[in-house]
A and B are shown apart, each in its own frame.
Chain A
């Protein structure tokens, strides 16, 4: 135990003296966080120009519906000439025109809302199409969404509309998590992965490159103490960076789990730390050059992060990718973190923790074997 602690302390000291290694581990998660923040701008509102040529009350109502939808449009109300110029200069992605004949067309049931769309790609194009369709639906069926579903003792309420179908939306939770918060939280997992994998890999490769491995063979340190010390040292270095990060995120309410979820969250993060350290030991044993270690470790961490659902939602992926993610240990970590933070219950977290423990045990066993092999060879 004493010898293991000595190895851990030495590794921690090596880490402290390698500011560039710490920087290398921190840059990708910081970059990912910046990406999420920039993305928040891109995925919400779309810039659209509105031209109201109709002068009647129906045209005014249509224009009011569109201008009131501030969640969907970043609107500029202008004339047709200027709108076309804005579209050409890419200052807006679409132009919506309420035509001059709108009122008379509504009276005959043949009105149209003209949409000119810069359909460069379908992502934002579809966002605009959906938003315009909703505005049209609001015009013809202003009561849409007003019905109440009949449930149990409740009688329900049906408010008729021309589509003969009304929507009764039931939200799973009281508040909707903002996009930035939803995507920023898994970045914590990337931080753990980078610190753990790069840290342990670097220590291993450095031992080999500097001949420390040969020196260790001559010392009375038993391989098991070396393994335990290396894992503990890397895990402590990771926690030293992770703990302040979590504290800051908690202070700014990005990390705000429901009551009773903290133990699950901490367990997931600690298990992931150990998993990352053991994976790093494996990488360090396989890659002999310090120069290549950073590239290999960061690539390995990236795949563990992305395929684990760090930058995506696994449920959206094709079946073969969903199957693949089941053998990616970080998918259980990210799933458990999201469940612990965003959902009212801990549904499935037990299974996630079991799976994560099994993967961590396997990685520790593999890492220990690789490290022992190096120490006794």
Chain B
């Protein structure tokens, strides 16, 4: 005879049991939190290579006009991280891959330019990587155009007049770390959700689920609730690092919190479905870690996904990370990175949660029944 209160009681007991099991696997929990921080480190390192290419500045002139050119090189849209050095050091560092380029301002530069003569500026480029080379090849003319315009040289007829859609620029790293929170939720909640279920198969406990006086759904819900709780703490630590460490202030605090909790809930359910399908804990972490990276990139994590073309954008819709990034970038930075409105992103995330719960329950119920 099943009583009305049995389900919630079983849920509570299952959640407590899962929390106890997690407390006995402290190394696992600590490293899962560390994994969340790993992604922040990863995207930060990637973000650092997106701009300010390390470039040697060999100034053999030291005139005011040379200083003016240096100023415009520095202002060339975050292109150069100029490092003053001698020509010999620049050659050595360029050959060993420590520099992307070396700009040499020759002696007599100031006098020649002031006299209206054109001076040749040698720019040595380590063209090892086409991305970095392109940036340098575009940035130097950009700096020269600004230099010519600022000094009022005759013959400069055209300027680029820029109008931005957003009042302020958002730095690449602040943008990346916010989308990385969606990735953190996927990895942490996915891994813990999957382990909670896979462990039951490995320990042969699934057979005993038959003995429970309530449906398997109550037990599963309890386990996932506990996993989601721990995941929320882990993602909370990562979010704390983003907000306190990186100095990112959420524009909409409540939406940020709601988006993060929603992401954790969805990915816990996705993890549970994966755990039920794999029935082994060993490949779980690797699977989520390995899948997370391509999913992350194809989710608008670097820039609005539609900029990469309609095909990639269409594929992105198959991943909840796309909607999670859309919701989080809107909540934290107030940026629209999906053509869909933020409310639609949130609604689709809720739909994903519902579908994931159904899949996890169905897979597990089937497994329990088979046993």
Contact = CB atoms under 8 A, between A and B. Distances in A.
B287 A24 contact: yes
Given A158-B118, A166-B118, A342-B128, A113 B161 contact: yes
Which of A25, A29, A172: most chain B CB closer than 10 A? Answer: A172
A296 B286 CA distance: 10
Interface in B218-242: none
A24 B128 contact: no
Interface stretch (A43-51, A274-282, A362-370): A43-51
B45 interface: yes
A110 B28 CA distance: 65
Contact of B303 (A62, A93, A129, A318): A93
Contacts of B309: 41, 47, 74
A42 B302 contact: yes
Contacts of A178: 130
Interface in B145-175: 145-148, 153-166, 169-172, 175
Interface residues of B, number: 119
B142 A298 contact: no
B208 interface: no
Interface string A149-175: 110000010111111111111111101
Interface in A246-291: 287-291
Contact of A289 (B28, B78, B310): B28
A345 B34 CA distance: 39
A62 B112 CA distance: 30
Contacts of B139: 130
B120 A147 contact: yes
A164 B141 contact: no
Nearest to A25: B286
Interface stretch (A7-15, A32-40, A222-230, A236-244): A32-40
A113 B158 contact: yes
Contacts of B156: 109, 140, 162-163
Contact of A302 (B38, B50, B113, B146): B38
A264 B303 CA distance: 39
B69 A28 contact: no
B138 A123 contact: no
B121 A134 contact: no
B302 to A, nearest CB: 5
A336 B283 CA distance: 31
A114 B163 contact: yes
B296 interface: yes
Contacts of A131: 138
Nearest to A40: B131
A133 B160 contact: yes
Interface stretch (A213-221, A305-313, A353-361): A305-313
Which of A114, A127, A149, A198: most chain B CB closer than 10 A? Answer: A127
B247 interface: no
Nearest to B41: A306
A335 B128 CA distance: 13
Given A38-B298, A147-B120, A172 B282 contact: no
Which of B131, B133, B159: most chain A CB closer than 10 A? Answer: B131
Interface string B21-33: 0000101100110
B100 A162 contact: no
B312 interface: yes
Contact of A123 (B28, B172, B284): B172
A28 B171 contact: no
B121 A90 contact: no
A306 B42 contact: yes
B166 A119 contact: yes
B302 A126 contact: no
A144 interface: yes
A34 B96 CA distance: 28
B18 interface: no
Which of A131, A168, A292: most chain B CB closer than 10 A? Answer: A292
Given A121-B170, A138-B141, A338-B97, A35 B294 contact: yes
Given A170-B123, A292-B28, A117 B164 contact: yes
B144 interface: yes
B118 A134 contact: no
B131 A179 contact: yes
B331 interface: no
Interface of A: 18, 20-21, 23-32, 34-35, 38-39, 41-44, 46-47, 62, 71-72, 74, 87, 89-93, 105-106, 109-127, 129-134, 136-141, 144, 147-150, 156, 158-173, 175-179, 182, 194, 198, 202, 287-292, 294-296, 298-299, 302-303, 306-307, 311-313, 315-318, 321, 335, 338-339, 342-343, 345, 347-348
Interface of B: 25, 27-28, 31-32, 34-35, 38, 41-42, 45-54, 69, 76-79, 81, 94-100, 112-113, 116-135, 137-142, 144-148, 153-166, 169-172, 175, 191, 195, 199, 280-287, 289-294, 296-298, 302-304, 306-310, 312, 335-339
Which 10 residue pairs are nearest across A and B when measured between Cβ atoms?
A162-B155, A27-B290, A31-B290, A133-B142, A163-B148, A24-B286, A130-B138, A137-B141, A34-B294, A121-B175
10 contacts: A18-B282, A24-B287, A28-B293, A90-B339, A113-B159, A122-B172, A126-B51, A140-B148, A173-B126, A335-B97
